[in-house]
Amino acid sequence: KAGVTQTPRYLIKTRGQQVTLSCSPISGHRSVSWYQQTPGQGLQFLFEYFSETQRNKGNFPGRFSGRQFSNSRSEMNVSTLELGDSALYLCASSPRGSEQYFGPGTRLTVT
Partner 1 sequence: QKEVEQNSGPLSVPEGAIASLNCTYSDRGSQSFFWYRQYSGKSPELIMFIYSNGDKEDGRFTAQLNKASQYVSLLIRDSQPSDSATYLCAVSPGSGGSNYKLTFGKGTLLTVNP
Nearest to 82 by CA among 56, 60, 99: 60
- Residue closer to partner 1 (CB basis): 33 or 68: 33
Sequence-separated (6 or more) residues with CB below 8 Å from residue 71 = none
- Residue closer to partner 1 (CB basis): 85 or 103: 103
Q: For residue 101, state whether it binds partner 1 (rule: CB under 8 A).
A: yes
The distance of closest approach from Cβ of residue 16 to partner 1 in the complex, given in angstroms and rounded to an integer, is 28
Q: Contacts with partner 1 in 72-91 (CB under 8 A)? A: 88, 90
Distance CA 109, CA 13 (A): 6
Torsion angle defined by CA atoms of residues 111, 19, 67 and 43, in that order, rounded to the nearest 10 degrees: -20
The distance of closest approach from Cβ of residue 8 to partner 1 in the complex, given in angstroms and rounded to an integer, is 15
Q: ∠49-70-89 over CA atoms, to 5°?
A: 40
Instruction: Among 5, 20, 58, 86, indicate the residue that binds partner 1 (CB under 8 A).
Output: 58
* Number of H-type helices and E-type strands within the chain: 0, 11
The distance of closest approach from Cβ of residue 100 to partner 1 in the complex, given in angstroms and rounded to an integer, is 6
Chain positions contacting partner 1, by CB under 8 A: 31, 33, 35, 42-45, 48, 50, 55-56, 58, 88, 90, 92, 94, 96-105
